[in-house]
Amino acid sequence: LSREAAYAAVQRAAARAWDGADFAEELRSDPEVAGRLSQEILAQCLSLEHHLRNAPHSLRVLDDDPAAG
């Protein structure tokens, strides 16, 4: 899947989500996405825990930074 095709698939799902659909469900039901990513991999891609895993460390660093003060 090219970068452009992946971008288009995400944009289609996002446009439906703007109208109230569930973004993750839209991606799961998209044949281009479902044909290339397992449900497990897609769930990992959409996991907030994965994307925020370094937030506590970043906040500690900012809290310890005198310039942030």
pLDDT at 15 (0 to 100): 97
Backbone angles phi, psi at 6, to 5 degrees: -65, -45
Q: Quick one: pLDDT at residue 64?
A: 80
Q: What is the pTM for the complete model shown? A: 0.70
According to DSSP H, which parts of the chain are helical? 3-18, 23-29, 31-34, 39-45, 48-51, 55-64
* Amino acid type, 66: P
User: What does the pLDDT profile of the chain (69 residues) look like in tens digits?
Assistant: 899 999 999 999 999 999 999 999 999 999 999 999 999 999 999 999 988 999 999 898 888 866 655
